[in-house]
Structure 1
Amino acid sequence: MRAAALAERRRYARALTPEARSGLEAQLARIVLPHIAGAQVVAGYHPLASEISPYAILGGLDGAQAAALPWFADRGAAMIFREGPALVAGPWGMLQPPADAAALAPDVVLVPLVLGDRRGTRIGHGQGHYDRALARLREGGRPLRTIGIAWEAQISEEPIPADPWDVPLDAIATPAEWMEFR
């Protein structure tokens, strides 16, 4: 299921012109920003080539809101969130904030996905980084809202089987739709 969804995401993203992609990401921001207006810290991610970018959302935050991005000390380390921007290569070559950037506890996390369904179940890249990080953040007792963001082609009309460790999403947004689950 993951391999087929990754192939579809790649195909979909490659078919977009830069202008179309930018327009869809701006539309995604228009949909998501009203839902995160009260957040103090919003965590996004530095997108892979075929992932929808959260940067239009993060760029639309008001002056009282801080943006954070995933950060790893090494491949075996837990994912934490540090104040952006993503400037240095992390353990997998992905850009991340520098090690001296402030560590932040987000109250909203924009979660990338490979495939999501209309119940809030998500398939990621299979490493479990987000599931572990989200579970850890929720253990702290602070309210946390999780919003999956995706292209329309990444939404499954069929339910996705969830593993016991999968952290369900509170919402999923695409450039065309907002889906609220909790």
Structure 2
Amino acid sequence: MTTPKNLKKQLRLEALARRDGLDPVWRIEASLDMAEMARRHIEAGQADIVSGFWPIRSEVDTRPTLFALREGGARLCLPAILDRATIVFRELVRGAAMIDMGFGTSGPSPEAEVLDPTIMLVPLAAFDARGHRIGYGAGHYDRAIARLHDKGAPVRLIGVAFDCQEVAQVPDEPHDVVLPEILTESGLRRFAG
């Protein structure tokens, strides 16, 4: 029997295989192009806190995008995995210590201030034309977004991926968070909510 969870797993594997097949130099150039698009289309000022993510494997490198948004005055943060169920967002500042976060990623040390992002760049394995996403399967971002919403914290969610990660349709599950926007090398795509 094909369940939504099994179908998501298959779609995730296929999308990640396509992403892994991209030329590494092309991925760098695409990440830089995406930073320029972000500079033009994502308004982030001094009142904003932007969370990104440290790239793992063949992910989009969001560091140029973070730098571009910081130039507009935004504060930056990265996720810190506290346990199997919880991530928080710690401030990213120049010169501060970075530590191993597991999963091949790095982030600010526990001394860094914990912040609530107002703009969240969300990693994903796959997405569809409705803004539905497939993450990596741990549910960290779904829970983090739910916590921010429960606190009443307004947050603009923007998925970040390459076009090749798009699938025909992501199976819907009640806990899934739909992304109103996704940034790819083709531009910032907005989805009807």
What is residue 122 of structure 1 aligned with on the other side?
Answer: 133
Percent of aligned positions with the same letter in both sequences? 36
Shift of 1:94: 2.3
Counterpart of 2:101? 90
- Partner residue, 1:10: 20
Alignment of 1:1-182 (within 5 A): 1-12=11-22, 15-17=23-25, 20-39=26-45, 40-61=48-69, 62=71, 64-73=73-82, 75-84=83-92, 87-156=98-167, 158-181=168-191, 182=193
Distance 2:135 2:85 in 1: 18
What SS does structure 1 have at the residue aligned with 2:40?
A: helix
8 Å contact from structure 1 (residues 72, 80) kept in 2: yes
Give the TM-score normalised by the residue count of structure 1: 0.89
- Please report how far the alpha carbon of residue 44 of structure 1 lies from its aligned counterpart in structure 2 after TM superposition: 0.3
Q: 1:16 to 1:89 in 2, by over 3 A?
A: closer
Answer yes or no: is the 8 Å Cα contact 2:41–2:188 preserved in 1. no
- Runs of 5+ unmatched residues, structure 2: 1-10
Contact 2:44 2:72 in 1 (8 A): no
Per-residue deviation, 1:93: 4.7
Whole-angstrom distance in 1 between the partners of 2:172 and 2:37:
27
Q: Which amino acid aligns with 2:81?
A: F
Task: Give RMSD over aligned pairs.
Answer: 1.7
CA deviation map 1:39-87 (0-9, x unaligned): 51000001112100111110112252111100123x3351010012571
Give the Cα–Cα distance (whole angstroms) in 1 for the partners of residues 90 and 171 of structure 2.
32
Flag structure 1 segments of 5+ consecutive residues without an equivalent: none
Q: Secondary structure at the match of 1:160?
A: coil
- Shift of the alpha carbon at 1:28? 0.6
